[in-house]
Amino acid sequence: MSESNQLPPEAELLQSLFGFMVTRCVSAAAELNVPDALVDGPLYYTDLATKVGADQRALHRVMRTLTSVGIFAEPTAGTFALNDISELLRSDTPTSMRDLAVLLTSESHWMPWGRLTDTLRSGKSGPQHAFGNDLFSWFQKHENKDEWDLFNAAMTSFSSATSHAVSEGYDFSGFRKIVDIGGGHGLFLKTLLGQAPQAEGVVFDLPGVVEGAEPADRVSFVGGDFFEGVSAGGDCYTLKHIVHDWSDDHCKTLLGNIANVMDPEGRVVIVETVMPESAEPHPAKFMDVNMLAMTEGGCERTEGEYRALCEASGLTLKAIHPTKSPVSVVEAAKA
């Protein structure tokens, strides 16, 4: 931004302070399935409110705000339509980010983030302050099943935004057995297998996760605890947005378990946002604070930190491959 277009400091600060309002409005619109209601074309706000079951005036005020920041279009006064951004909030598209938008202001995330000051004072995660437990233990309580289901759907939603970028940014075609650790319902692995026609795939995740997965060609689902062990014999082990959830000690256990059973000539492929050493804006910095707020010691790591983590786990860092998305492929081999 040129100096002539630079906002005054007060406006810059207000823009940042109001950011949570935008997030909450996007989440609410996604939860009401407003983007789905606009698939067939623009609607006047009264008709839109009827279609999604909302109060007319309240919905108009939220849609007016979201249009002002570019999330929706307003072709004529009071009439709202989809644009390239809100298309991503539809529930029926392969690249949908709808469930992720809903998750970010659901109880599982909204409440812990509200305790960030306590996290800064104590070093304990937001869930410890909000729920008295770590997030994944809280998810496993019966009364939180809907939140757990939303989380898994959101992780699949998040995968859709990065899976193709990873498959295009790293060559998976030569592998024969790809094991996706913490792979959820298998969207990421299925995308990779499209680039590896000779390979079979294994999704290794918690039993309660893989039980809800739909069968797929060349994919098997195995339940287990990756801190105790993982499926053996793979020549490619992928971990997408798994390593950043855990402390260095936990990651050493997980990566060590993989190193113990992987093909000697195989590869470990870690998919994360890699933290830059410099001060420029980068998505990794936001992801890192999310890990601070939500996990027990999770973080985003620099190249040097990945190198040290690999060396402590029986692996050797081979390369870091950027993709056409915020994530990179951290490639490691058996030491």
| Residues with Cβ within 8 Å of residue 321, at least 6 apart in sequence | 169, 170, 328, 329, 331
**Can you tell me the distance from the alpha carbon of 235 to that of 304, in angstroms, rounded to the nearest whole number?**
25
- Structural contact between residues 290 and 139, judged by C-beta atoms closer than 8 angstroms: no
Which pLDDT tens digit goes with each residue over 180-216? 999 988 989 999 999 999 999 999 999 988 887 888 9
Give dist(CA 287, CA 283) in Å, integer: 6
Q: For residues 278-295, b (16+ Cβ closer than 10 Å) or e, as one string?
A: eeeebebeebbebbbbbb
pLDDT digits (tens, 9 = 90+) for 52-92: 999 999 999 999 999 999 999 999 999 999 999 999 999 99
> Which tokens hold the place of 75?
């072709």
Cα separation, 196 vs 173, whole angstroms = 4
What pLDDT sits at residue 95? 82
Q: Is the distance from CB of 169 to CB of 115 less than 8 angstroms?
A: no
DSSP string, 96-127: --HHHHHHTTSHHHHHHHTTHHHHHHH---HH
Domains of the chain: 3-91 (1.10.10.10), 107-334 (3.40.50.150)
- Residue 302 contacts by C-beta under 8 Å, 6 or more apart in sequence? 274, 275, 276, 277
Pick the more confident residue, 113 or 95: 113
Q: What is the DSSP string of 119-169?
A: HHHH---HHHHHHSS-HHHHHTSGGGHHHHHHHHHHHHHHHHHHHHHHHHH
Could you report the per-residue pLDDT of 256-309, keeping only the tens digit for each?
999 999 999 999 999 999 999 999 999 999 999 999 999 999 999 999 999 999
Residue 179, pLDDT above cutoff 70: yes
Q: What is the pLDDT of residue 114?
A: 97
Q: How confident is the model at residue 232 (pLDDT cuts 50, 70, 90)?
A: very high
- Name the residues annotated as catalytic: 244
Task: State the pTM of this model.
Answer: 0.88
